Amino acid sequence: MKWMVIFVSCMCWAQQGPDLPPEAAQLDWFIGEWDLTSKSLRRDGSYTSHKATSTVYRALDGYALLDEFRAYNDQNQVVFRGVSFRTYIPETGKWAIKWVMANEAGMTDLTAEYKNGELVMEGKGSDGMGAFLERAVYYNISADHYSFKLDRSYDGGKTWIKGMNLIEATRIN
């Protein structure tokens, strides 16, 4: 019985709602478990690097993707948690994304679409530093790897903090 539950659970990861357009499968490559090397830009311009994981699965009867993100310290303790909810909106031809940080003030509302083989996102949100505009891109996408870059502006787009977060991801399964 234990194996059956695991098998059924894995099968659910890849299923999507029966009446979704084909574009809703654009992010199927993202479903699964990922090991991440995440670099965050410090105020002095240097980067801090940490290990993280991402687990992505279908939710809401296949109509959305849920991405659970966890960052770890050197003792392998979880030091940060966040989750993104992604759903394809046929009327706009774009993905609607909501990013929420656990136990911290901060949320981001984004839209995303594919451009030249990259998933390009833009939106706005707020965190402990205030309101911001955000743009990000998933690139170098393959079955077992992707790269991610995030830029933010805290002054309405006049200036941008480029490469605020950089991720290299390798598929676990």
Instruction: Give the residue from 76, 84, 52, 45 showing the smallest Cα distance to 164.
Output: 45
The contacts of residue 124 (CB under 8 Å, 6+ apart) are 108, 109, 131, 132, 133, 134
Note the pLDDT tens digit of each residue in 106-160.
899 999 999 999 999 999 999 989 999 999 999 999 999 999 999 999 999 999 9
Q: Where are the beta strands (DSSP E) in 12-129?
A: 32-41, 47-59, 64-72, 78-89, 94-101, 107-115, 118-127
Domain of residue 91, residue span: 2-171
166: β partners: 39, 149
Percent of the chain residues topping a pLDDT of 70: 90
Question: Is the whole-model pTM more than 0.95?
Answer: no
Residue 137, domain CATH: 2.40.128.20
Q: Tell me how many domains the chain contains.
A: 1
Model pLDDT, residue 16 = 52
* 127/105 Cα distance (integer angstroms): 6
φ, ψ for residue 14, nearest 5 deg: -100, -5
The helix or strand, by DSSP H or E, that contains position 8, with its residue range, turns out to be helix 2-14
